[in-house]
């Protein structure tokens, strides 16, 4: 192998293109890095699987719900903005994302737009979905809804708080047993942590302080050690595309002042997804919204400096690097020792769907 192409570079460049595609794709060896100014070549631009086709499906979340079983939730209707018929849908895969069952309604409050759903499986096996209602007056309310039978039926929705706020990231279960849900003030005026010590019956709120140059928005959280929680935030003040990081060391009761990371969406802003693949922290994000999506890892214990130079180029929506109409809320889940499935939404002239892309991780991740 040429000394100009390190083994790590080779693995990184080929990893996204060596998956088994359900629908077919245009994979091949990645010949160069992508930049903000030009499209990458050899990166897949067709989904490996279509999770759901709909009117205007958006903002999905995927999570594990058992061995080889995945659950995906999303909102569907005919438009991006408010609709009195917007509803939360859910679908399941029994083969780690290769195929998906027909989607079913999770919640649909008449006259209200139910949207921004995310899901997790609780230790007792129940599924918990957080979402927010949205009225014709553009007022939002954060909610949870649970299923004790694997998603066949759902209990009555329960409010988190009366605050005009919205959801994005999924609930997480802390080592203490507490639940934590990252919410944000509508329409993007501050990030808030909602914590419950009684299984979701009542919630306490704590804010991540806004300051000069930073206004919190949608965010995600990950407990990286007992009581220590890291949050990655979409910023809505300066809006220069950089993600910000905050941290709690007391189980979500208080939060540090947010600080800027080195990860950036070079075109616009949309929320990232934070997870661990084994012991490796993984950030899945749109590096150019509505154009392309990447993954990046870090060995920085502060979660501020990510390995941007060796980011994994996962897919772009069009082979020529042109944007599509709407997309870029990627969420990923482990589906193998070195494989992840990214779920995203895509609004294209040729179709409107929830898409899935399989990604093989390089050695060292």
Per-residue tokens: 297 = 């890892």
CA 86, 60, 327, 94: dihedral to nearest 10 degrees? -120
pLDDT at position 339 is 99
Average pLDDT over residues 321-344: 98
Per-residue tokens: 355 = 């898409």
Phi, psi of 77 (to 5 degrees): -170, -155
Q: Does residue 36 fall inside a structural domain? A: no
Residue range 248-274, pLDDT digits in tens: 999 999 999 999 999 999 998 999 999
Owning domain of residue 241: 7-31+41-360
Residue 5: pLDDT band by 50, 70, 90 thresholds? very low
Q: Does residue 16 fall inside a structural domain? A: yes
Residue 52: pLDDT band by 50, 70, 90 thresholds? very high
* 78, 57 contact by CB (below 8 A): no
Q: Does residue 52 fall inside a structural domain? A: yes
Residues 6+ away with beta carbon under 8 Å from 139? 164, 186
Residue range 89-122, pLDDT digits in tens: 999 999 999 999 999 999 999 999 999 999 999 9
Whether the upstream peptide bond of residue 38 has omega within 30° of 0, thus cis, is no
Q: Does residue 99 fall inside a structural domain? A: yes
Q: For residue 95, what is the domain's CATH number?
A: 2.120.10.10
What are the b/e assignments for 202-212, b being 16+ CB within 10 Å?
ebeeeebebee
Q: Is the pLDDT of residue 30 over 80?
A: no
Compute the distance between CA of residue 68 and CA of residue 66 in angstroms, rounded to an integer.
Answer: 6
Average pLDDT over residues 153-181: 98
Beta bridge partners of 221: 231
Annotate 216-273 with DSSP letters as a single string.
Answer: EEEEEEEEEETTEEEEEEEE-SS-SSEEEEEEESSTTSS-PPPEEEEEE-SSS----E
Compute the distance between CA of residue 215 and CA of residue 205 in angstroms, rounded to an integer.
Answer: 17
Q: Does residue 164 fall inside a structural domain? A: yes
Q: Is the pLDDT of residue 33 over 50?
A: no
Q: Does residue 365 fall inside a structural domain? A: no
* 334, 354 contact by CB (below 8 A): no
Q: Does residue 138 fall inside a structural domain? A: yes
Q: Looking at the 3D structure of the chain, how many domains does it have?
A: 1
Residue 289: pLDDT band by 50, 70, 90 thresholds? very high
Q: Does residue 2 fall inside a structural domain? A: no
pLDDT at position 26 is 33
Residue 19: pLDDT band by 50, 70, 90 thresholds? very low
pLDDT at position 43 is 93
Residues 6+ away with beta carbon under 8 Å from 81? none
């Amino acid at each position: 192998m040429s000394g100009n192409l390190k083994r790590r570079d080779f693995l990184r460049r080929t990893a996204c293109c060596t998956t088994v595609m359900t629908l077919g794709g245009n994979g091949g060896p990645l010949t160069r890095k992508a930049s903000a100014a030009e499209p990458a070549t050899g990166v897949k631009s067709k989904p490996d699987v279509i999770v759901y086709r709909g009117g205007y499906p958006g903002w999905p979340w995927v999570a594990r719900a058992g061995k080889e079983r995945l659950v995906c939730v999303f909102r569907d209707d005919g438009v991006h903005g408010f609709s009195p018929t917007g509803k939360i849908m859910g679908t399941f895969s029994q083969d780690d994302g290769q195929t998906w069952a027909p989607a079913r309604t999770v919640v649909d409050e008449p006259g209200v737009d139910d949207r921004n759903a995310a899901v997790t499986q609780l230790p007792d096996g129940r599924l918990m979905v957080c979402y927010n209602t949205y009225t014709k007056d553009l007022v939002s309310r954060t909610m949870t809804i649970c299923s004790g039978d694997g998603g066949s039926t759902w209990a009555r929705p329960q409010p988190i708080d009366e605050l005009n706020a919205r959801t994005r990231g999924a609930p997480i279960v802390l080592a203490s047993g507490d639940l934590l849900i990252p919410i944000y003030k509508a329409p993007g005026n501050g990030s808030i942590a909602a914590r419950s010590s009684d299984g979701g019956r009542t919630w306490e709120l704590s804010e991540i302080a806004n300051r000069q140059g930073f206004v919190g928005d949608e965010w995600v959280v990950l407990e990286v050690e007992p009581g220590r929680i890291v949050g990655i935030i979409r910023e809505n003040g300066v809006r220069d595309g950089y993600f910000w990081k905050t941290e709690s060391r007391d189980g979500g009761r208080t939060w540090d002042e947010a600080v800027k990371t080195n990860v950036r969406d070079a075109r616009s802003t949309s929320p990232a997804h934070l997870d661990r693949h084994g012991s490796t922290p993984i950030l899945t994000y749109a590096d150019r919204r509505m154009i392309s999506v990447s993954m990046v890892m870090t060995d920085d214990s502060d979660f501020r400096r990510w390995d941007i130079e060796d980011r994994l180029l996962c897919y772009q929506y069009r082979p020529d690097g042109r944007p599509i109409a709407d997309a870029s809320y990627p969420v990923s889940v482990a589906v193998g020792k070195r494989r992840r499935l990214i779920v995203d939404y895509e609004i294209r002239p040729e179709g409107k769907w929830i898409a899935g892309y399989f990604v093989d991780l390089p050695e060292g991740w």
